[in-house]
Amino acid sequence: MKKILVLLLVILASCATPKKCCGQAFTKDFFKYSTVYGAVNGNNSVSDVDVYSVTNGLETNTVQTPFDYSILFGARKIKRFGYEPKEAFKNGTENSYADGATIGLWEKKVEFLFQAEYKRQEGENYFDQRHMIRYVDEKWLAKVEYLEDGFADVKFFESSQRWRKELDNGVSFNLGVAQRISEPYGYNPLEEWLLSNGNLHYTFLALEEGYTTQFDGQGGVEYFNPSGNSVATSTEVWEAVVIPEMLANYTEKKRNQLPVQWTYSWVAGFDYYKYTKTSWLHAWGSLMPLHYSDDENEFSYYNFNEGQWLDYSGGIIYGHWFNKNLGLFLEGSYNKYWNRTWHGFSVGINYRVF
């Protein structure tokens, strides 16, 4: 997937650059007005939690969660919308919903965002990425994007080529095709282990995965993981703690063994932008109602969902100052792909005292 992503990014950048020669795609003109940044950010995580036990008398264990941090690098060239503030420095934590818009303010100029971040959040480690290149012409646009968000558990590559029609009132419509590469969403590795009554034969699956059991002859049992370490001395702990962890590891392993899946979709969308110093509205959305995947993508969502489903994404940014003192703002985005959702929002009021 990474090789395909790099290749498409280079091709799109080369096509959008004035044709002096192909080698000039990443010259000074391409990076002009861009910002390259790197940052380390950190803060405390959830507070320590005391866990009490009375099995062998009163015992207290303190569960500690290490502090959160992130290390990131990025390069960005996206023209700011009128409502967006100008930062003195970029640290990569800025939450700009406008980056998800289909159309930017620049026409006939390449915009891009490349950012990779390694972070620890609430004791869990993630490696997140977001890469995007966008080119908007008078009557067409092209965009490629790669998103990997560990906290939302979503990862995919998407490219789209669209015809666009811009009206005089700030509205722009677009229609075209999109190509997406993703994990085998919809594939459930546990289906083959389901019994006729709908229950899961989890103990047999655990034994196939290398877990073992040892009976003491007096009704007791002890369970061992594939490394030979004891993980439970009762059926209750085995079913409540060990089995869920085993199932999670098994499904992740089986999905990782499968190749990435292609999906081709029709896409239709709109963008709207109107800005004044006292009021602004920026909205966008895309809808994918029809999809196709060939026989080589046996584990694609297309096959598991019997053909068709509805994917969509969108966002809105609204702000209004009623007078010099009182103002209202609303911003957010919502995405639903392959029946997986990720979203964010912020809404509130400001009152300035003079």
Strands 279-288 and 291-292: unpaired
| Long-range CB pairs of 295-303, under 8 A, 24+ apart, other chains included | 296/262, 297/261, 297/262, 297/263, 299/184, 299/186, 299/187, 299/258, 299/261, 300/184, 300/186, 300/261, 300/262, 300/263, 301/182, 301/184, 301/185, 301/186, 301/261, 301/263, 301/338, 302/263, 303/186
pLDDT of residue 32: 83
At 116 the three-state DSSP class reads strand
* Closest-CA residue to 40 (of 93, 96, 99): 93
Structure tokens at 16: 């959008």
Q: List Cβ neighbours of 343 (8 Å cut-off, separation of 6 or more).
A: 332, 333, 334, 335
pLDDT of residue 31: 81
At 196 the three-state DSSP class reads coil
Contact 200, 187 (CB under 8 A): no
Per-residue pLDDT of the chain (354 residues; tens, 9 = 90+): 544 544 455 555 555 555 555 555 456 777 888 889 999 999 888 888 887 777 667 778 887 888 889 999 999 999 999 999 888 888 777 778 999 999 999 988 899 999 999 999 888 899 999 999 999 999 999 999 999 998 888 899 999 999 999 998 889 999 999 999 998 888 888 888 888 777 888 888 999 899 999 887 777 889 999 998 998 888 888 888 899 999 999 998 888 888 888 999 999 999 999 999 999 999 999 999 999 988 778 888 888 876 689 999 999 999 999 999 999 999 999 999 998 899 999 999 999 998
Region of 307 on the Ramachandran plot (φ > 0 left; ψ -120 to 50 alpha; else beta)? left
Rounded Cα distance between 57 and 76, Å, is 58
Contact 141, 164 (CB under 8 A): yes
Chain centre distance of CA 34: 24
Bridge partner residues of 336 (DSSP):
312, 341
Burial of 142 (0-12, 13-18, 19+ CB in 10 A): buried
Region of 304 on the Ramachandran plot (φ > 0 left; ψ -120 to 50 alpha; else beta)? alpha
Rounded Cα distance between 96 and 60, Å, is 44
What is the maximum alpha-carbon separation in the chain? 84
Phi first, then psi: give them for residue 75, nearest 5 degrees. Answer: -140, 135
Rounded Cα distance between 315 and 332, Å, is 6
pLDDT of residue 27: 63
Contact 161, 35 (CB under 8 A): no
Identity at 186, one-letter amino acid code:
G
Rounded Cα distance between 275 and 37, Å, is 28
* Closest-CA residue to 39 (of 93, 96, 95): 93
pLDDT of residue 123: 83
Beta-carbon count within 10 A of 121 CB? 15
Identity at 248, one-letter amino acid code:
A
Let me know how long the chain is.
354
Strands 110-121 and 68-77: antiparallel
Identity at 244, one-letter amino acid code:
P
pTM: 0.79
